[in-house]
Structure 1
Amino acid sequence: MKKWLTISTLCAVFLIGGCNTANDQQEPEEEVNGEETEEDPSTEQTPEDDDAEQEGENEGVENNEDFLAVEDEFTKEFLVSTDVEPGFHQMRGKLDGFEMLIPENGIISDLLHDIENDAVETLIYTFNNHSEKKLYDVKLMYYRKYPEEVKQNYLNVFKDEVGFDGEYKYVEANGLEIYYGSFEDEDKYGPYLRYFGYLFSIDDNQSISFSFAAMCQGGEECSLSLEEEAGLAEKLMYSIRLLDQ
């Protein structure tokens, strides 16, 4: 698995693990040194307290997946429209070069975002599927202007980056030339799926690479289907629009 994927996966695990850790710390201790502790009558919960606590827990569960993107301070800076369709927001890169969908629980870390010379923007966002114990990474690299003569070099280097030795498929859509592919593999972290594409503007020299990976969360057993995950990957890739510069 490539270095960027490992780093972003760790970020995703950290985000999830933080929530789990917080929940673990809220569990009351039944015994101290093998002896039962006595409850302070002043802190005994009433039925009303139990109801309020249960309501708060339910809200936390709902917010965990539904509102992460709009609650994260850095991610909010990229959102241009929320709830554009169920489960997705619309985001725009900082160079105003592209827009695309982002899942409503997608998180963009400031550690995984970079702009070089006001011309190249790299962005990685992560999200998860708690019920199926899956983690996802999406990496984008946007070029405001690329030299036409090195287009094939870009495609060759991209193959090496994603670890693909097959042939690209090709399609034109949304004013873009799209070279794409997919595969499934396994490494020391477990099985993973990769779907990727290099998108070139037909009208000018803008381009953007897109790489999508799905993996099991924290070593948990889960089922990964290339066909199923490719549906989500394609939805995100085909939502990309390169904006006029």
Structure 2
Amino acid sequence: MKTWLRISTLWAMLLIVGCNTANNQQEPEEEVNGEEKQEDSDAEQTSADDDAEQEGKSEGVENNEDFLAVEDEFTKEFLVDTDVEPGFHQMRGKLDGFEMVIPENGIISDLLHDIENDAIETLIYTFNDHSEKKTYNIKLMYYRKYPEKVKQNYLNVFKDEVGFDGEYKYEEANDLEMYHESYEDDGRYGPVLKYFGYLFSKHRNQAISYEFICVCQGGEECSLSLEEEAEMAEKLMYSIRLLEQ
């Protein structure tokens, strides 16, 4: 229970801090010591070069600052293939129970990863689209084995956790039974999209829950489209595979 509370608290703090950081950064400093800030031609040229670089990108998740998954020491421990497709790597959980793709600028924090009793793995990773002023947070909870008779309880509790009171969509894909849905909400700093699913192996008592949250951080400069963001959410979710052990 303590582990669950720690992860959940850090998960909430991650969303709040991320929003605060982005909003603090989006307001440029206009005066220094009472004088208007001057911009020289070099700075203007750098900005123009950055814009040109962004326009040239067409695949993966845009990030005009860096691509850190292969540079971050903790995240690298999860990567099993860095040449899956442009913009994405393949990652595997520490319990060797699941694999999925992760954007090349996705970062897994050691503070937001935990394994309980060698049976339950909680993992959260984040990535940004700086050009669109959006932050993405993905949370996974993998269960090496769950009691089949409490499957419906898992689904009901998950609804409460994600704040949803409707009915799941159901489908079968990738040898999985998939229960999923999505909705938009108004966050403190702008609109929020939530896409979530519970995936059960069709042949083994393995399961994994999936939460995708897209937070708009740019105020009027940022907008969310449920249809467009769902494409990324579904790409990540449909890439999940539960591995035989």
The TM-score range, normalised by the shorter chain, is 0.7 to 0.9
Count the aligned residue pairs.
219
Cross-structure match for 2:176: 176
When residues 206 and 31 of structure 1 are mapped into structure 2, their CA distance, relative to the original with a 3 A threshold, is closer
Shift of 1:220: 6.2
Cross-structure match for 1:8: 14
Cross-structure match for 1:114: 114
Partner deviation per Cα, 1:171-226 (whole Å, 9 max, x = no partner)? 00000000000100113232101111000000100000001011112656311000
Give 1 or 2 for the bigger CA radius of gyration.
1
* 8 A contact 1:88–1:102 mirrored in 2: yes
Cross-structure match for 2:101: 101
Shift of 1:113: 0.7
Shift of 1:4: 5.5
Cross-structure match for 2:226: 226
* 8 A contact 1:97–1:144 mirrored in 2: yes
Matches within 5 A, 1:134-173: 134-173=134-173
When residues 114 and 187 of structure 1 are mapped into structure 2, their CA distance, relative to the original with a 3 A threshold, is same
> Which amino acid in 1 is paired with 2:222?
C
When residues 11 and 206 of structure 1 are mapped into structure 2, their CA distance, relative to the original with a 3 A threshold, is farther
Gaps of 5+ in 1: 35-49
| SS of structure 2 residue aligned to 1:155 | helix
Shift of 1:7: 2.1
Partner deviation per Cα, 1:52-108 (whole Å, 9 max, x = no partner)? xx7xx97xx898555211111111111111131011000011111100000001111
Gaps of 5+ in 2: 1-7, 36-41, 55-62
Please, what TM-score do these two structures have when normalized by structure 1? 0.78
When residues 31 and 64 of structure 1 are mapped into structure 2, their CA distance, relative to the original with a 3 A threshold, is closer
Cross-structure match for 2:78: 78
Quote the Cα distance in structure 1 between the aligned partners of 2:77 and 2:106: 13
Please, what TM-score do these two structures have when normalized by structure 2? 0.78
* 8 A contact 2:133–2:217 mirrored in 1: yes
Two-structure CA RMSD over aligned residues (Å): 3.1
Cross-structure match for 1:236: 236
> Which amino acid in 2 is paired with 1:216?
C
Quote the Cα distance in structure 2 between the aligned partners of 1:187 and 1:176: 32
Quote the Cα distance in structure 1 between the aligned partners of 2:33 and 2:166: 60
* 8 A contact 1:8–1:124 mirrored in 2: no
Cross-structure match for 2:59: none
| SS of structure 2 residue aligned to 1:244 | coil
Partner deviation per Cα, 1:134-165 (whole Å, 9 max, x = no partner)? 11110000000000010000000000000011
